[in-house]
Structure 1
């Protein structure tokens, strides 16, 4: 079963701490850094994992400079998804119990990945009714899955519908 938690007001602070660390170690190559995912939406039920979106000008520079730095900070570099998403570099940090605490998504700021994730987050932040519907949808799905990728896939229709609404509102 996918573990979801009620919103924790400490999540933004945990993001800010990690952002400060990342910028202190790799800031010269980072164009922008954002808190994304459900932990970035006040009041939203979420997997208690801080998702961080790092934006760069060129992924080739990131591969040479930022990827090794993030690994040195204790993140696992998960390259297996690059066949499906070649525009993203993905990292996970685990705690002592082997549970995920942070994810980093490293992309170019001009990418569709960057735009989509910020649009979805911002729409949920400004549309609490939709955020509540999303929470209910996630709570309904979570007991049905043990694999995070399958769970994420099951949320796709809701996310796509929400993104379409968000694009129409811009």
Structure 2
């Protein structure tokens, strides 16, 4: 049985929870973790979200030996899967979307291990940064998620089948935004 999708108002506790999670990850993974970032909806101030902390650990390779350290922290490997491929991005090699996905049993955490410089690693950070810089886009995104959860609370496939393409439309604007930022520097 799958979990019910529930979007709740933003919690001021999410950044603090992330900080505790990140500190433990950085200590356990040491130099294998090139970066530990709070990603996903709980990383956007004011954004309604599922009560799940998304964390991305950036590594040099998926071959780095992090599994034992993660297991000691209570993370259990769930799947080795590919990230969502945005429509029209057939140019992306499968390795650009590959990830490991973990979850922690005593707190709802999605831990994504991604390779430095790959599309999916950059995409997660761009999503976060764009929504932080564009609060009206974040508000519209929150409404979409709330409506999807209202209509599909027990159907994650339907929820994501609609949410992912909507997000892809927004991210096309984010790609242009980041190019303008780089150009203006």
Do the two structures share a fold, i.e. TM-score over 0.5? Answer: yes
Secondary structure, aligned partner of 2:56: strand
User: Cα 1:50–1:149, aligned 2, differ >3 Å: closer, same or farther?
Assistant: farther
1:118 aligns with 2:125: yes
| Partners of 1:138 and 1:79 in 2: CA distance | 24
Offset at residue 148 of structure 1 (A): 3.4
Gaps of 5+ in 1: none
Report what 1:78 is aligned to.
Answer: 78
**How many residues are matched?**
163
Pick the aligned partner of 1:159 from 167, 172, 181: 167
| Partners of 1:83 and 1:7 in 2: CA distance | 25
Report what 1:19 is aligned to.
Answer: 22
Name which of structure 1's ranges 80-89 and 111-120 shifts more when overlaid on structure 2: 80-89
| Partners of 2:158 and 2:78 in 1: CA distance | 17
Does structure 1 retain, via aligned residues, the 8 Å contact 2:83–2:99? no
TM-score, normalised on structure 2? 0.82
Report what 2:61 is aligned to.
Answer: 58
User: Cα 1:82–1:135, aligned 2, differ >3 Å: closer, same or farther?
Assistant: closer
| Partners of 2:71 and 2:45 in 1: CA distance | 29
Report what 1:92 is aligned to.
Answer: 103
Does structure 1 retain, via aligned residues, the 8 Å contact 2:80–2:100? no
User: Cα 1:27–1:149, aligned 2, differ >3 Å: closer, same or farther?
Assistant: farther
| Partners of 2:172 and 2:21 in 1: CA distance | 31
TM-score, normalised on structure 1? 0.89
| Partners of 2:161 and 2:103 in 1: CA distance | 19
Counterparts of residues 105-144 of structure 1 (less than 5 Å): 105-144=112-151
Deviant stretches of 4+, over 3 Å: 82-86, 147-150
Q: CA RMSD in A?
A: 1.9
Does structure 1 retain, via aligned residues, the 8 Å contact 2:80–2:101? no
